[in-house]
Amino acid sequence: MDEEGVQSFLIIFSIITFCLALTVIILFAIFQKRKNKLLREQQEAENRFKEEIIETQVEIREETLRNISWELHDNIGQMLTLAKIQLQNVDNPTPSIHDASETIGKSLTELRSLSKLINPDTFNSLSLVEALKLEIERFNRMQYLEASLKFSKETFALDHKVEVIFFRILQEFFTNTIKHSKASKLEVNVDYKKDLLSITAKDNGIGFDTTELDAKKEKGIGLTNIKSRAALINANAEIVSQEGKGTQLNLTYKNQEL
C-alpha cells in the first residue's frame, strides 16, 4: 500500500472511530437521561405515596378526634350534667356536696372546651389564631403552665387544610411540652408578613439532646409526626432544644394562595 493509500486509510479509520465514539457518547447520554427520568419518576411516585399515606393518617386521626369529641360531648357530658343535677337536688346539701357540684360544673366547662378544640369541624368557623387563643386560654385556666400568644394578624388568607394541619402540629408540640418538658412557661408567636407565615412555639422546660433522640420513644414519635405533617403542606419544621434550655419549634410556610 502506497503512502497515499495509508493516509486515506487512516483518515477513514479516524472518521469511523470518531463516529463510533460519538455514537457511544450519544447512546450513553440518552441512557443517562432516561435513567435520570426514571429515577425522578420513581422518586415522585414515592413522594406521592408518602404524601397519600400521611394524608390518610391525618384523615384517620381527624375522624378519630371527631368521634372522641362527639363521645365526650354527647355521652360523658350528659352523665356529668345528670350527676350535677342530682347533687343540686339533694335535700339539705352539705358543703362537701356543694363543692362536688361546683367541681362537676367546672369539669363540664372544660369537657365542652376540649370537645370543641379536638373536633376538626370547629375550624369551619375559626381561624388558626382563634383556635390557638382557645387552646392557650384552656392551658391558663387549667393552670398547666403560664401560656401566652402573640400574633401579627388575627386572620389571613390560608387554605383551610393548611390551618388545620398547623394547629395539629402545634397541639403535638403542646402535648410534648406538658407531658415531658416540666415547663412553667409556653410562648407562641404567629407572624405573617406578605406571603410568609412564621410560627414559633417555645417552652422553658428541661429540654433534650436532639442528637440522641430515639424515634421509638413517645417524644420521638410526636416530633416525627410534627415533621411529617409539615412535609404534607410543604412547610418547614425545625425543632431546637438543649438540655436545661427548653425546646423551640420553628415553622415556616410560603403562602401559595397569593
Q: Which residue has the cell 463516529?
A: 19
Q: How many residues does the chain have?
A: 258
For residue 203, what is its C-alpha cell?
417552652
Distance CA(186)–CA(180), nearest Å, equals 13
Q: In the beta sheet, which residues pair with residue 249?
A: 201, 239
Residue 17 confidence (pLDDT)? 83
Residue 73 confidence (pLDDT)? 66
Residue 173 confidence (pLDDT)? 92
Looking at residues 106-117, what average pLDDT do you find?
A: 76
Residue 215 confidence (pLDDT)? 44
Burial readout 95-124 (b: 16 or more C-beta within 10 A, e: otherwise): eeeeebbeebeeebeebebbbbbbbbebbe
Q: Which residue has the cell 413517645?
A: 218
Is residue 190 very low, low, confident or very high in pLDDT (cuts 50, 70, 90)? very high
Residue 51 confidence (pLDDT)? 64
Distance CA(97)–CA(183), nearest Å, equals 34
Q: DSSP secondary structure string, 168-207?
A: HHHHHHHHHIIIII--SEEEEEEEEETTEEEEEEEE-S--
194 Ramachandran zone, left/alpha/beta (phi>0; psi -120 to 50): left
Residue 216 confidence (pLDDT)? 42
Give yes or no for a contact between 242 and 207, defined as CB atoms under 8 angstroms apart: yes
Helix (H, G, I), strand (E, B) or coil at 147: strand
Average pLDDT over the chain reads 79
pLDDT digits (tens, 9 = 90+) for 207-227: 888 776 554 454 555 677 788
Own/partner contacts of 151-154, CB < 8 Å, gap of 24 or more, are: 151/189, 151/190, 151/191, 151/192, 152/190, 152/191, 152/192, 152/193, 153/129, 153/192, 154/127, 154/129, 154/130
Residue 236 reports pLDDT greater than 60: yes
Report the side by side order of strands in the sheet with 247-254: 146-151, 185-193, 196-203, 247-254, 236-241
For residue 151, give Cα distances in angstroms to 81, 140, 158.
Answer: 37, 18, 15
**Dihedral angle sign, alpha carbons of residues 26, 27, 28, 29:** positive
pLDDT digits (tens, 9 = 90+) for 113-168: 777 777 777 777 788 898 899 889 888 887 878 999 999 877 777 887 788 889 88
Residue 13 reports pLDDT greater than 90: no
Residue 227 confidence (pLDDT)? 84
Q: Are strands 185-193 and 146-151 parallel, antiparallel or unpaired?
A: parallel
Is residue 52 very low, low, confident or very high in pLDDT (cuts 50, 70, 90)? low
